[in-house]
Each structure stands twice: as C-alpha cells, then as structure tokens.
Chain A
Amino acid sequence: MEQTVQTEELRPPVTHIGVIGWARHNLFNGVFNSILTIVTLFFLWKVVPPIFRWAFIDSAWTTTGQACRKAAGACWSVIFMNYRFILFGFYPYEQQWRPFLAMMILFSLLFYSRDRTHWKKPLAYAWIIGLFTMGLLMKGGILGLPSVESTQWGGLPLTLLLAVFGLTAAYPLGVILALGRRSKMSGVRVLSIVYIELIRGVPLISLLFMSAIIFPLFLPEGVTFNKILRAQAAIILFTAAYIAEVVRGGLQAMSRGQYEAAESIGLNYYLTMRLVILPQALKIVIPPTVSILISAFKDTSLVVIIALFELLKTTQSVLSNPEWMGFSREAYVFVAILYFLGCFSMSNYSRKLERELSRRD
C-alpha cells in the first residue's frame, strides 16, 4: 500500500525573512554597507529630531508676531495670519473667491485630464472654455462682477496663470518652430535655428528684463501693454524654444516610412504633418512636455525680479512687514511646499505616463 508521508514544511530561517531578513539583505550586506547604514542612521538621528521639534513641538501656529518671537520653534503664524495675502496678493479682499474659483477650475481640469481615456475632442473644448472662464473670473467687468485690473492680480493664481497660459500659447509656436527647423527650405530652417539657439542660449531673466524695459520702446507711442502681459510674452517666447527642441526630438523619431507612405497616398505637406506625423510625434513627446511644464511653473518665480506680485513676491512683502520680519525660513518653507506639491504631482504623472506609453509599444 502506498503511504503518503506528511513531511513537515520547513520555514526559512528567521534571519532570511521578515524585517530581519530584509534589513540583512538591504542594509547590512557587507562591511562597507553596514558602516554606511550606521553613519546614515547617526546623521538622521542628529538632524531629524531637532527639525521635527522646531517644526511641530516648539512652534507657534496662530499667534501674533510678538508672541512668535518668544517661541523657541518655528513661527507658522506668519503663514496663518497672512495666507490670504500670500495666496492672492492685492486682489480685493471680498472678491478673492474669484481667483480661488478660477484655480479650482484649473485643478479640476488638470485632474480630469489625468486619465488618458478622457483625451478626446470634448476635453479640448472644456479646456478652451475653462481657460476663458478663468480669465473672465479674474478680470470681471461683466455679469455683475466688479472689474479687477490685472495690476492687482497676484499670488498663486498669477503664478499658475503665467505657467498655464505660457505653455498653452507657446505650444503651437514651438511646433511651428520645430517644423521650421526640420524644413527642407534653407531660409526657414536658418531662421528657426537662429531663434531657437538664441533663446536657449540666454537666461530667462534677460528676456524678462527685455519685456520690462525694452518692450515699451518697441511699440508706437500711446500703445501700452501692462507688465503682466509683457512678462507673459517673454515666458511664451522663452518656452516656445524649449518646446521646439522637444518636438524636434519627436519628429526625428518618426521613421522615414511614415513620410513616404503619406507621400505615396498623395498627401501634401500640410496634410502629411496634420494627419500622419504630428499626431504620432506629439504623442511620443508628452512626457518631456510635462517636464517643460514643470520648468515653466518653476520659472514663473523669476518674475519676482521684475516686481510682479506672484507667490514669491507676496511672501516677501509679508516678510518686509516689521511684525513678521525674520520669519523667512517658515514663509519660504511654506512656498517651497506649494511648489513641491505642484511639481511632484506633475513629475509623478509624467513618469506614470511614460511607463504606460512604453508598455503599449
């Protein structure tokens, strides 16, 4: 008769599984690594608790500036007592729900666009309508909304506005420049190359200076644009050159077969680009385009140098108030967290998209 022997299932030794096994494998696999781990742990032990203490235990949250000076830790009151000004700048206090609503529209549009199955025509219309509504909300002047001059715009809405409108307007320009650079017509190609390399060779700040002080000279007398529009123009011109380089990468990745196939069915240049090349090329370059959006978002902070009241400038003007002088660390940490949240979610999304796109191929 056959007998089945019930063997006892041996568990792996305790040093190879669980927390101990994991630590042995990842932290203490060798003398050098063990030393490294201990040094790192020591460093963390020295650094993290004091920072934690400063930020959370000894800190003041909703006090006046005077009371803050007595606290040993961070003074987050500088944020809590001034957050409306930091976020919205000189926008009239009672009307600040408008920029808030505009930002909410932007965030919900962005959130809805995350899913690639939503990328259809209606979404494009939604974006156009959304951007238009946002502009209208900010400016006012109709539907019983009091008009708010753009000189009063400031804070986070201005930062977002400069970045989003900047990229939206720069994108078509960048695509045209990229096509120009790949063109067979040498004149057009040279013009595009000169433009792209010129812009990429200079820092954004020189363009912003140009927009602030030279741009008024370019226009005939009596015609003036306000400072925000001029800075926006500089950001658009700057971003377009970078987009052009990204799109060029996508165009170069297209195989010649695509061009030849389009030609063989008798499409002209315009139709070849619109129907065959650009839809594929632009799809390839979505992840690097998101990185450009991230840089554009970060770069808008530079308009502080030409004295526009964006997020960083409103923060600085709170800090120049004698009551809150000396709490720069807390204020800048707050602004840094805002920027980090924005950029991190975008870069995370771009990585996710990259994985999805590469998996499909």
Chain B
Amino acid sequence: MRGFKDSAAPEKVPFWLDPKKRAILFQCITFCMVGLLAYYLISNTLINLKKQNIATGFSFLHKESSFEIGESLIPYSAANTYARALLVGTLNTIKVAFIGVVITIILGTFIGVARLSTNWLLSKLAAIYIEVMQDIPILLQLFFWYAIFYETLPSPQQALNPGAGIYMSNRGVAFTIPEGHPAHKYMLLAFLVGCVIVYVMRRWARKRQEKTGQFFPTFRVGIAIIFSLPFVTWLAFGTPMKMDAPKFIGFNFQGGLMVSPEFIALLMGLVLYTAAFVAEVVRAGIQSVSKGQREAAMAIGLRPTLVLNLVILPQALRVIVPPLTSQMLNLTKNSSLAVAIGYPDFVSVANTTINQTGQSIEGVALIMAVYLFFSLSTSAFMNWYNKRVALVER
C-alpha cells in the first residue's frame, strides 16, 4: 500500500490549466487590451487637438460667455462666465425635472388606478392612453406640443383669456400672481417649521402608540398644522392681497408670471409620456398585493384608511418605488431633449458652449458628469430605500 503514496499526490498542474492563474492571466490581457485602446484613442485625440489648435482643460469656464439665456432662475447676463451659464442650465434642468416628477406621479397614479377601475369605459380609456403614449417617441411628442403652441395659439395682442388673470399666446402663458411682499418669505419659513413639527409629532405619536396603544390622528393634525401656520403668518402681516397681473405692453406681456412655450411644451411632453409608464408601474404594484391581505386586515377590524395605510400601501410601495424611481430618472434624462425645442436646459447650454469654445470633449464630459451625478445619487437613494423596506422574514 505504501507504494501508491507518491502516485496519489496531486500532479503538478501547468499554469495554463490552473483556473486561478488563468483568471489572472485573462484579466491581465483584458486590461491590456482596454488600456491599449484607451491609449490609442487618447493619443490620436491629443494629436488631432494639437493640429486643430483646440485648447484643452476647463479654464474656459471662467471666461465671459457672451450669450443670453432665455429663462433663468438666478440673475444672469451675457457678461457672466460660462460656469454661471452652465449653472443656469443645470437649474433649468432641475426645475423642469422637479415639477415634471411631481405632476407625473400624480397623473400616473390616477391613470394607473383608472386602469384598474371596475368602470369599463374608464379602464379602457386609460388602457388606450397608456398604449398610445408609450408607443410614440418622446421627441415627436415634444415637437407636437411645441407646434401646437406656436401654430394654433394667437399672438400676444389677441391672447386667449381662458380664466381670470391667465393669458395664453404663442409667446407663452402669463399668470397673475400675488405681488412680492415680505410676508411671503415668512410664510415659507412657517411652512418649513410646520413640516418639522409634523415630523417630530409623527415620531412622538408612533412611540406613544407602541407604548400605550393610544392612537393619535397624525394625518389630520399634520395637515392642519402645515396649512394653518403660513395662514396665521399671512394674517399677522395684515393680509397682503395685492396681485401682480400681466399687462400687455409693447409687444408682449409684462409682469405676472410668464411661462415660456418651450417650458410648457417640454413639461407637457415629459409628463404625458412618463405618466403612461408610471401608470403601468402603479397598476402592477396594486395588483401585486393579494386580495387576502385586504380581507385579513378587515377581519381584524382595521378601518378602511388604516387598511390602506398599514397593510396595502407598505406592500404595494415596495413593488412600486424601485421602477418608479427609474421612471423619474428617465424623465430627468429625457429632459435633455429640451435642446431640440430650444428650452435652455443643461444640454442646450453646454451645446452652445461647445459651439463657441470648440472644446467638445470637455463639454460632453460635463454633460455626462451632470447626468451621472443625478443617476448615481438616485441609485444610492434606491439602495438605502431597498435596505429600509426589505422584507424582514422570520
């Protein structure tokens, strides 16, 4: 038996048959190839840039931009730097994305619920809406809404006046808004304070319920606090009622809140398109909660609102939120199509910058960086959320 000892010992494996060493070799080859490709592209680019006398680096950001931007949330003129122009673009992107997301969620939820309605007519209408909107490219929809705006609406002289204080023309929609007053600042502050109070109250109410079993109507009290605090502030400032109505002066409206046709077309296109996808997400989420859950909740005597809040929504949201977030991200990414209809979003401003400075690499890199920042921060949020709501099983 001893004679077999040597032959039983493992044979020495040549390195090309050893999976571990082979993996290292394979990875080295892959990295080399990627590196070589990168080197090839970069060296070509550097040679080309030198030949065409294109500057490199981000120093252009501090130069004067010398172009105007149609709408801006912060003061901006052509004398400002490119950096500020790009900031204006970013803010415009955030503005349309934020407003778009809020309206989309509301509209999408309505359509999703309508799709599940027992009312045949409503359900079929919702189905048609979802199918049609999903199947038409977003860019085409943007062009369509923009065309409707400048072709069918009259010039500012004959602006339509569908309701008190609203004027619609092919230059945009002018709204009447309350005139600026120091009270507004404090009302906003009161609103924020109200939110904080409600948050603290909710935690307190939950703790108390866990301890003593006593229920506190957080929702109703919360709504009351959030709305009454700004209202009281408004009263305290002597109820400033003066309104800032748009007036037709020269060639266009002055005063009030003017919303550009580009912004409205972009917002409409994004909202109507994304709402169709959100509706599908919401429908799937609601359908994912089985009927037994509702019946069980009612059997232990929960009231309908509590059934919804404690049983149905937490389970449906677990299914809804991840795809919903990706739809919101899609909306943000699709807002980059603003460049096609002339809304000054980030891509549009960056495009102008590229055309003026010729520094296309930096420009495109900036575009990618900004959107990557949006999407990476969203996925960071998603990971956090998924961890929070992850199903805790026995």
**A contact residues vs B (CB 8 Å cutoff):** 26-27, 29, 33, 36-37, 40-41, 184-188, 191, 197-198, 200-203, 205-206, 209-210, 213-214, 216-221, 294, 298-299, 301-302, 304-305, 312, 316, 326, 328-329, 332-333, 335-336, 339-340, 342-344, 347
- Residue in chain B with minimal CB distance to A29: B118
A263–chain B nearest beta-carbon distance, Å: 12
Q: Is the CB of B371 within 8 A of A202?
A: yes
List which B343-394 residues lie within 8 A (CB) of chain A: 347, 351, 354, 360-361, 363-364, 367-368, 371-372, 374-376
Give chain A residues whose Cβ lies under 8 Å from the Cβ of B199.
none
Q: A206: shortest Cβ distance to chain B, in Å?
A: 5
User: Cβ of A201: which chain B residues have Cβ within 8 Å of it?
Assistant: 368, 371-372, 374-376
The complex places the Cα of A161 from the Cα of B152 at a distance, in Å, of 35
Q: Are A217 and B27 in contact (CB under 8 A)?
A: no
Interchain nearest-CB distance for B129 vs A (Å) = 12
Is the CB–CB distance between A312 and B140 below 8 Å? yes
Task: State the CA gap A218–B361 with chains docked (Å).
Answer: 11
Closest chain A residue to B372 by CB distance?
A: A201
Verify A209–B45 contact, CB threshold 8 A. no
Partner of A33, one of B41, B118, B143: B118
Within the complex, what minimum Cβ distance (angstroms) separates A355 from chain B? Answer: 16
Interface membership of B333, Cβ < 8 A: yes
Stretch at the interface among B6-14, B57-65, B120-128, B281-289: B120-128
Partner of B333, one of A29, A203, A316: A203
Residues of B participating in the A interface, judged by any CB pair closer than 8 Å: 23, 26-27, 30-31, 34, 41, 44-45, 47-49, 51, 117-122, 125, 131-132, 134-141, 143-144, 147-148, 151-152, 333-334, 336-337, 339-340, 347, 351, 354, 360-361, 363-364, 367-368, 371-372, 374-376
Interface of B is mostly: helix
Contact of A27 among B121, B141, B339, B375 (CB under 8 A): B121
Q: Which residue of B lies closest to A341 (CB)?
A: B135
Q: Check B340 against A305 for contact (C-beta < 8 Å).
A: yes
**Which residues of the partner chain B approach A217 to less than 8 Å between Cβ atoms?**
44-45, 48-49, 360-361
A304 CB contact (under 8 Å) in B27, B139, B148, B372: B139
User: How many angstroms from the CA of A342 to the CA of B143 in the assembled complex?
Assistant: 19
The answer to whether A213 touches B354 (Cβ under 8 A) is yes
Q: Which 10 A-B pairs have the closest CB atoms?
A: A328-B147, A343-B135, A26-B120, A201-B375, A187-B27, A298-B137, A203-B333, A301-B137, A203-B336, A213-B360
Chain A residues near B363 (CB-CB < 8 A): 209
Question: Which of B48, B131, B140, B333 neighbours the largest number of chain A CB atoms within 10 Å of its CB?
Answer: B140
Closest Cβ of chain B to A95, distance in Å, is 28
The complex places the Cα of A210 from the Cα of B148 at a distance, in Å, of: 31
The answer to whether B125 touches A40 (Cβ under 8 A) is yes
Partner of A301, one of B118, B135, B139: B139
Asked if A40 and B23 sit within 8 Å, CB to CB, the answer is: no
The answer to whether A214 and B360 have CB atoms under 8 Å apart is: yes
Q: Which of B49, B117, B147, B336 contacts A329 (CB 8 A)?
A: B147
Interface centre among B31, B47, B147 (most CB of A within 10 A): B147
The residue in chain A whose Cβ has the minimal distance to the Cβ of B144 is A332
A191, B118: Cα distance in complex, Å: 50
Given contacts A203-B334, A217-B44, A220-B44, contact A347 B51 (CB under 8 A): no
User: B140: shortest Cβ distance to chain A, in Å?
Assistant: 6
Set of chain A residues within 8 Å of B136, measured between Cβ atoms: 298, 336, 339-340, 343
B152: chain A residues within 8 A (beta carbon): 329
5 A-B contact pairs sorted by A residue (CB < 8 Å)? A40-B122, A203-B347, A205-B347, A209-B351, A298-B135
- The residues of B that contact A339 with a CB separation of less than 8 Å are 135-137, 140
Complex alpha-carbon distance, A187 and B31, angstroms: 8
Tell me if A299 and B137 are in contact (CB < 8 A): yes
Query: Across the interface, do B347 and A206 meet the contact criterion of CB distance under 8 Å?
Result: yes
B371 interface neighbour in A206, A216, A294, A344, Cβ under 8 Å: A206
Cα–Cα, bound, A188→B33 (Å): 12
What residues on A are CB-neighbors of B347 within 8 Å? 203, 205-206
Q: How far is the CA of A219 from the CA of B26 in the complex (A)?
A: 28
Chain B's closest residue to A342 (CB) is B135
Instruction: Decide if B139 touches A219 in the complex (CB within 8 Å).
Output: no
Contacts of A347 in B (CB 8 A): 131, 134-135
Q: Which chain A residues lie closer than 8 Å to B351 at the CB level?
A: 209
Apart from A33-B119, A202-B371, A305-B139, list 17 A-B contacts with CB within 8 A. Answer: A26-B118, A185-B27, A188-B26, A201-B372, A202-B333, A206-B368, A213-B354, A216-B48, A217-B361, A218-B44, A329-B148, A332-B144, A339-B135, A340-B132, A343-B136, A347-B131, A347-B134
Instruction: Give chain B nearest CB distance to A156 CB in angstroms.
Output: 13
In angstroms, Cα B45 to Cα A60, docked, is 54
Q: Which of A37, A201, A220 has most B Cβ within 10 Å?
A: A201
Q: Are B23 and A185 neighbours in the complex by a CB distance under 8 Å?
A: yes
A305 cross-chain contacts in B, Cβ below 8 A: 139, 337, 339-340
Q: Which residues of A are found within 8 Å of B354, using beta-carbon distances?
A: 209, 213
Q: What residues of chain A lie closer than 8 Å to B31, measured between beta carbons? A: 187, 191
- Judge whether A191 and B144 touch: CB under 8 Å: no
Q: Are B340 and A36 in contact (CB under 8 A)?
A: no
Which residues of the partner chain A approach B51 to less than 8 Å between Cβ atoms? 221
Chain B residues near A326 (CB-CB < 8 A)? 151
Query: Quick one: closest B residue to A223, CB to CB?
Result: B44
The one of A33, A36, A186, A214 that contacts B361, using a Cβ cutoff of 8 Å: A214
Q: From residue B278, how far is it (CB to closest CB) to chain A in Å?
A: 16
